[in-house]
Amino acid sequence: MIKYEAAFLPLFFISFFLFFPITLHVRFLLREFPNYSLHRYIELYVFQGFTLQTYLMYLPFVVLLGYILVNAALVKDFLDSGDSSQVKITPIIPTTTVFVPIEPSTTSLQPVGVEKKEMYPRVIEAKTGTGDVYLKLEECYYFETDEERYYVVHPKGRFRVMKPLSVLEEELDPLHFFRVHRSYIINLDHLDSYIYWEKGKYIVYIKTAAEIKEMMMSRQRFPAFKDALAANRSR
């Protein structure tokens, strides 16, 4: 957050030169009415206005006003998101810590708009430098697209797959997999946490063996994401 706020400082430093000419002319028109003088305008308003002393005098007010507007916009975006509970990271208990057998139930929650299928694939074919391998889908962390190629990230590494994400989204079990972004399909069983970010966006964290992968998700995808997560946890 500090890094984000500090990024606005250069803009505030130069904003004086953008807005001061406007306020200078307004002040001249109001104060000197109706006896306008070009000589007085240049001497009192131009030469005495654009000085280092004037710049340093107004700079703190410009910076203060700028940060008030920036943070007010952040608060507005957060309130407009309609879910203020996501300000803090919502921890997700890894499913690998508890193994409770549950009989299949037709009353289990399903993601909205997804039809329940009888069977879903359990493995996926991936390419390596030495040939093809078959990976268990339950072990896959996520699928991604990179420069018009498609990959799966697995404990054994990152492998190329031949199916686009649009096809995988239709074939994979929606109780376990969800497309958070046009470039990512995640395994909900490996979800670490998620957090509201800004301007109606969320950050989703996937825990892999090597790192915590960070992915962006839009506000439009969030309701479906919550439905998918609820179905995953209630299965």
Please indicate, yes or no, whether residues 38 and 90 belong to a single structural domain of this protein.
no
Give CA separation, 179 vs 118, 157, 176, 193, 201, in Å: 21, 21, 11, 15, 15
CA dihedral 29, 34, 38, 42 (to 10 degrees): -40
pLDDT bin (cut points 50, 70, 90) of residue 49 is low
Please indicate, yes or no, whether residues 22 and 126 belong to a single structural domain of this protein.
no
Task: Output the pLDDT for position 14.
Answer: 80
Looking only at the bridges linking them, the beta strands covering 201-207 and 157-161 are unpaired
Please indicate, yes or no, whether residues 133 and 225 belong to a single structural domain of this protein.
yes
Please indicate, yes or no, whether residues 48 and 160 belong to a single structural domain of this protein.
no
pLDDT bin (cut points 50, 70, 90) of residue 44 is low
How far is residue 159's CA from residue 135's CA, in Å, rounded to a whole number?
10
Please indicate, yes or no, whether residues 132 and 58 belong to a single structural domain of this protein.
no
Write down which residue in 80, 98, 133 finishes a domain.
Answer: 80
pLDDT bin (cut points 50, 70, 90) of residue 81 is low
Please indicate, yes or no, whether residues 67 and 182 belong to a single structural domain of this protein.
no
Please indicate, yes or no, whether residues 140 and 157 belong to a single structural domain of this protein.
yes
Domain range holding 69?
2-80
111 and 227 in contact (C-beta within 8 Å)?
Answer: yes
Pure H helices in the chain:
2-6, 9-31, 38-40, 52-80, 165-171, 222-234
Neighbours of 45 (CB within 10 A): 17
Q: What is the CATH number of the domain that holds 122?
A: 2.40.50.1020
pLDDT one-digit tens code per residue, 172-208: 999 999 999 999 999 999 999 999 888 788 999 999 9
pTM, two decimal places? 0.52
Rounded to the nearest angstrom, the gap between the alpha carbon of residue 93 and the centroid of all alpha carbons in its chain is 22
Write down which residue in 19, 48, 80 finishes a domain.
Answer: 80
Give me the chain's average pLDDT, please: 79
pLDDT bin (cut points 50, 70, 90) of residue 145 is very high
Task: Output the pLDDT for position 140.
Answer: 96
Please indicate, yes or no, whether residues 214 and 114 belong to a single structural domain of this protein.
yes
- For range 18-27, the mean pLDDT: 74
Please indicate, yes or no, whether residues 56 and 88 belong to a single structural domain of this protein.
no
Task: Output the pLDDT for position 80.
Answer: 62
Write down which residue in 44, 60, 80 finishes a domain.
Answer: 80
Please indicate, yes or no, whether residues 112 and 212 belong to a single structural domain of this protein.
yes
Please indicate, yes or no, whether residues 200 and 100 belong to a single structural domain of this protein.
yes
Please count the structural domains in the chain: 2
Q: Is the pLDDT of residue 227 over 80?
A: yes
Q: Is the pLDDT of residue 141 over 50?
A: yes
Please indicate, yes or no, whether residues 123 and 163 belong to a single structural domain of this protein.
yes
How far is residue 87's CA from residue 74's CA, in Å, rounded to a whole number?
12
